[in-house]
Structure formats: structure tokens, C-alpha cells
Amino acid sequence: MAVELVEDGQVDLAGELARLKEEHRDLDSAIDALERNVAGDQLQIQRLKKRKLTLRDRISYLEDQITPDIIA
């Protein structure tokens, strides 16, 4: 029973991780498009970059949860 819960948790984390990575890539594309635009909205670009950093932190956290540290 406990093993199933751990496996379910790993599947949930992996699913969220995949979703966050996709959103991170989408933000990258949106930022690139806005920066190429001569009249790009700098405030919008700044907000997207901040969201991208937040996603990167969450992705790192989830990757750490999925791959536990091995103490040698």
C-alpha cells in the first residue's frame, strides 16, 4: 500500500514536472516574440521573465523530489 502511494506520488510529480517544462518553453517563445517586436511591451516581458524564473525554481524543486540525494 505504501509503495503504491509513493509510486502514485512520483507519477503526479512527473506529470506536473512535464507540464511546468512545457509552460517554461512556451514562455521562452513568447518572450522571444515580444523582444523581436520593435514596440515590445517591456513590462510584459519583465513579467514573463519573472514567471519563467518562478517556473524554473519549481522545476528544480520537483526534480529534486523525484531524484533523491544519494549520500556516499
The reply to whether 58 falls in a domain is yes
> Is pLDDT above 70 for 25?
yes
> Is pLDDT above 70 for 4?
no
> Is pLDDT above 80 for 30?
yes
Q: What is the pTM of this model?
A: 0.74
The single-letter code of the amino acid at 6 is V
Q: Using 50, 70 and 90 to split pLDDT, how confident is the model at 68?
A: confident
Residue 51's domain comprises 2-65
Query: What pLDDT score does 6 carry?
Result: 56
Q: Is 65 buried (19+), middle (13-18) or exposed (0-12) by CB count in 10 A?
A: middle
How many domains, in total, are found in the chain? 1
The reply to whether 8 falls in a domain is yes
Task: Note whether 47 and 34 are within 8 A (CB).
Answer: no
Q: What is the mean pLDDT of residues 19-45?
A: 91
Task: Note whether 23 and 55 are within 8 A (CB).
Answer: yes
Q: Is 23 buried (19+), middle (13-18) or exposed (0-12) by CB count in 10 A?
A: middle
d(CA 56, CA 50): 10
